Structure 1
């Protein structure tokens, strides 16, 4: 049967990525390039919608950008100087073509396409209310709720109807919408999910990360501010602030794992932050060892920082194959066991007889760590000390990250000592939440008003979780309420 590779199963999946182009020749081709750079944020599906000044054109497909948008006939079928695109990893809704974005609908004001990175935490309640009022949904995605809220709003102008819709939703969203009147770009008031703006000649470019600008040769202007709504049209660019100002809480895990190391997120170099994370980890949890080895690729920058701070040599003790897809054939238990080496293999000549420090970005279920440790042990390591470049992941995310339910998070069920014994290492340590904040340039985490959304580590959720409250047993509601900051 076909199954997801076991090393991918034990990671928090990277939500989605969005990209927009306004006023460029071959806008859909530029969007396709931008989506290539954002592919790490979602590998299940991709889509592009363009506007040629008269009508909308959409192509959506399951799978990667490559193979779906590198054909001339596909790009020719998406004409116009305006386009928006999306790469998807499902956090709500089934994996099916009907959920692939951009979603499109014909409203009374004309065509409306939307690409969304994030998660609406009251989508189920809103959906039930809309269905009672007569709305007919075509997908199971939370994003479609936005379209129906816009369509049913009693306000007159499209902009006012859109703002009315946003004021009814909870959770995280970075949105790029395409209409016949212009492009609408916005970020939720807390700025949980990232979004940046750039210029390519006379064109405007929007992307989830700055690498999306880099790949198309656009210059970075700035981040879209939390709570900011930008309209781009033939009249130029206008910025609106339709929400009451609140203190931002951008996602801290963008710096730990989700964003590409070569991105700039909210003004900070992701690569530099990850190196500082490794240095903080070395200060907090030093160990006498011979080698610092990253679990590739996400553990590499932190491992460099750990090695530089500790003085222990950095080496590539685990080699990753970049030619293995996300799925592979597993016809039986024996091949399934051997399959773990398809993507990673221990560098035996380097490791044998050595005391090694393994650096990884996180532990989710623990299955990856268990297999990696066993592989390094089989390669002859004398001691294995694992250091994790983030605090223990003890809580689920409801803001656009595909997190296992809490019962499947290893750190929610075990102490650090129990986790050490479970994954069979000589020692195990996690970065403290204070160390993570220091790596981000903060003197300390402000307990009453945290500077980031760190709910996956602390349980301090920055918004209401209406749908979760509706689903939670009565004895869990008070616990959930306490975790909502």
Structure 2
């Protein structure tokens, strides 16, 4: 199983043409962040919404996009970390309040969502979904109590910071002819602005702007936001920046390799992970095999540092979704078999170092080891380019319970190795990761105390698989 991101957002205002085709392109570039559903909401006078379950190009077909007019709009791709998986939970959400439309698209997770929902329900509010995004919009409406066209950036920013600081949120609000974006004061999730020849746009990752003739890209800082109109844009601070809590999993798994997130290139970070992993736990082997695609860059780094050749021993079917970005465990198991297949002529009789970005439940890794041994691999040594995941996440990473984590299901790395039916297993150390990122400014919650558990296995890890 792989880690699941919650969402991707893209929106803005086009100068000359309808914005819907541009938003679709942006969402397509963010497809890796969520594959359950997609949608967009656009309009200059009245908003038009279309959303459904499925991939971007399945949901937003040409005939759909052609019928959604307007130069202003927002879009969303979704993986559910809060709320259901049906089409009703697809975003953006749009409501009519005081005869005017407003829409919202959210990337992140609000810790206080359950308590807030209970309070609003006690005040008489009715919810159509179980999503925290709907709760955010309801709260904004209940606080402002004016027509959406009268909502100001300052008062919206105050409501968000007063009620939701501590949660993870990069949020887009869409109005007829106007778009606003906000990034939470801790900066858990990224948000980027692009001034392009086609218009002004916001996105969860800067790589989504590659299909534009961009002029300038700016990473919105924690506690900052942007208001975009047909007359221009203004980047403003709406809340004091808190001690930064940038999510390390954006670099480990979520973001595209060609994205630059939190001031670092994602591809280069993953290469650095692989180099550090090789320094910490290199063994003698015939070849290095990356688990495609997220383990590829780390495998390059491991190969560069160790001198062991890199080969493509696993072929990925790119028409199958990311196994962690699927909400049901049964779907994940089937997804592994459909997604990856070994090349027997490459791996047969060979001692393999298998590089992957992380192990969560162990479903994917165990199935990969089984397939490789069936293909004739002599030895399989897992090297994981992140520390052991031992804690759940409250900020949008799909780690529902500690009991689901393989690191908490077994008492030692040796027991995990036995479960995977591998000849060796080692993780990147927590200290090694901090040497790459730095100790401050990052959210390491899912790894905290993993080093203590791992250190108990240092001697055994040095001998396993030799």
Corresponding residue of 2:27 = 35
TM-score (norm 2): 0.89
- Counterparts of 1:458-477 in structure 2, within 5 Å, are 458=448
Cα RMSD (Å): 2.1
The answer to whether 1:423 aligns with 2:420 is yes
Corresponding residue of 2:67 = 77
Give distance in 2, aligned partners of 1:312 and 1:194.
35
Give the 3 Å change call, closer, same or farther, for CA 179–301 of structure 1 in structure 2: same
Corresponding residue of 1:107 = 97
SS in 2 for 1:163: helix
SS in 1 for 2:308: coil
Corresponding residue of 1:162 = 156
Q: CA deviation at 1:11?
A: 1.1
Give distance in 2, aligned partners of 1:62 and 1:257.
23
Find runs of 4+ consecutive structure 1 residues off by over 6 angstroms: 336-339
Kindly indicate whether the alpha-carbon contact (under 8 Å) linking 2:225 and 2:237 is maintained by their aligned counterparts in 1.
yes
TM-score (norm 1): 0.85
Give distance in 2, aligned partners of 1:376 and 1:404.
29
How many residues align? The count is: 434
SS in 2 for 1:153: helix
Tell me whether 340-349 or 256-265 shows the greater mean CA deviation. 340-349
- Counterparts of 1:356-375 in structure 2, within 5 Å, are 356-375=352-371
Kindly indicate whether the alpha-carbon contact (under 8 Å) linking 2:321 and 2:335 is maintained by their aligned counterparts in 1.
no
Give the 3 Å change call, closer, same or farther, for CA 95–416 of structure 1 in structure 2: same
Give distance in 1, aligned partners of 2:333 and 2:243.
48
- Counterparts of 1:342-353 in structure 2, within 5 Å, are 342-353=338-349
SS in 2 for 1:87: strand
Give the 3 Å change call, closer, same or farther, for CA 377–226 of structure 1 in structure 2: same
Corresponding residue of 1:232 = 228
Equivalent of 1:289, from 256, 277, 285? Answer: 285
Q: CA deviation at 1:438?
A: 2.6
Give distance in 2, aligned partners of 1:229 and 1:343.
39
Give the 3 Å change call, closer, same or farther, for CA 31–217 of structure 1 in structure 2: same
Equivalent of 1:89, from 60, 76, 79? Answer: 79
Corresponding residue of 2:406 = 410
Corresponding residue of 1:13 = 4
Tell me whether 312-321 or 377-386 shows the greater mean CA deviation. 377-386
Unaligned runs of 5+ in 2: 324-331, 451-466
Kindly indicate whether the alpha-carbon contact (under 8 Å) linking 1:198 and 1:219 is maintained by their aligned counterparts in 2.
yes
Q: CA deviation at 1:341?
A: 4.0
1:151-176 per-residue CA deviation (whole Å, 9 max, x = no partner) reads 11157752244224312124100011
Corresponding residue of 1:378 = 374
